[in-house]
Structure 1
C-alpha cells in the first residue's frame, strides 16, 4: 500500500468508537484492515504476534479481536483458548487460510465467536464485526457508565477513567471491577473473587484489591468506595 494506514489508536479520536485489535503476522492484511475499519467508524490497533497483542491488552480495553490462526510463536488458537480460560469475554473473529470444516470447528472450539476464511471480502468482514459487537452489547436497561467519586467505569469496554484520564488496568483488575460494578453494594467473598473460587487464595485477592484501590481511591488506606466487609469480603459503593 502506498498510503500510510490511519492511526486510530491515538489520542484525539472519539473514545466512543468501538476499539478493535487486529492480530495478524501479515503486514498487508494488518494495513488493509486498519485502513478499512477506520474508514467505517472504528478505532483500530494492530499487533503482528500474540505476544504484542497481550502487551497491548494489558493497558487498553478492546471491544473485539480479529485474530489470525497461523502466527509465529503463540498461535491464534492458543491465544483464544487462553483468553477464554481467563474468562475474558471479548468477542473474537478468527481469520485463517485453512478453510476445511474441521479447521473452522477447531477455531470455534478454541473460543472464537465467528470464523472467516482467507481470502475474504472486506464488506463481509465488516458485517461480521458489526454483528458480533451488536450481540455483545449489554441490555438497554443496564447501566454502561458507572461513576464513583472521580472515577467512571465503562462496563462494556472495561475502561476506567479517573478525572477524565484513562487508567491502565490489568486483565485481572478489569475482571474484578466488572464483578464489583455488576454487584454494587453487595458483599462479595474472597472465594468468589478468586479465579478458581478457592478461599485459600485470600492473600492473593487482598493484594489485588489493594492494587485496585491505588487506582480508584483518593486515600487507599482509608477507602471510601471499595470497602472491606468484615467476615464477608469486599463491596463497591457507587454514586
Structure 2
C-alpha cells in the first residue's frame, strides 16, 4: 500500500469486474459461487452485530446472490430488503428471494453497478464485501451505512475490516448554506494495525491517514461532479 492506486485497470484497460464479466464468463460464475460460500462463513457474525430493530428498509449493495440478505430478512421479520449487484450476480439469486420464494414478499432484486450509481433508497445500506486493488494488493471489507434524512447525515462503519485497519467509521453530513448551496463534511474515526507487509504500527497509521485523506478528497470531488451534473440536467444553478 504505497500510493493507494489500483493497477488492474492500468494493466488490462478496464475495471476488474467489467473485465471478469466480459472476458471470463466461467470465472464469473466461479467468483459468484465463491462469494456465496464466503457469505455463509461470515453472515452469522454480521447478523449478530447488526441491530435492525428500528430499521424498515435495508439495501445489500454488491450482495452477490443475496445469501446474507436472505439470512437477515429471516432474522428480522419486520424488515424489507433490496439486493443490488451486477446483472450476472443477481441473475440467479438465493431461492428465498426469487418470485414465489419464502421471502419474495419482503425483498426486491435489482441489477446495477454500485460503482456508478446506487439505484435504490433504504434506511440502511450494507456495502457487502468490497474488494479493492490497493497497489497490487487485494483488500476486502464490509461496510454498513445508516441514512438519516431528517438530519442529513450518513453514518458508516466497517463491520469486517481490511487487514491493516483496527477500526474504521465516520459520518457524511450535508449542511445547507443557502437555497442553492450545500456544504458536505466528512469525518473519520479510525486506527491502523500492523501487518506482515507493514509491521510498524506508526507506519501503518501514516499510510492509513494518507489513504483516508486522499480518498476523502476523491469522494468529495465525485459527489460535487455528480451534483453539478444533476443540477445541469434539470436546469438548476450548479
TM-score class, shorter: 0.3 to 0.5
Considering fraction of residues, name the structure with more strand.
2
The TM-score normalised by the length of structure 1 is 0.33
The TM-score normalised by the length of structure 2 is 0.33
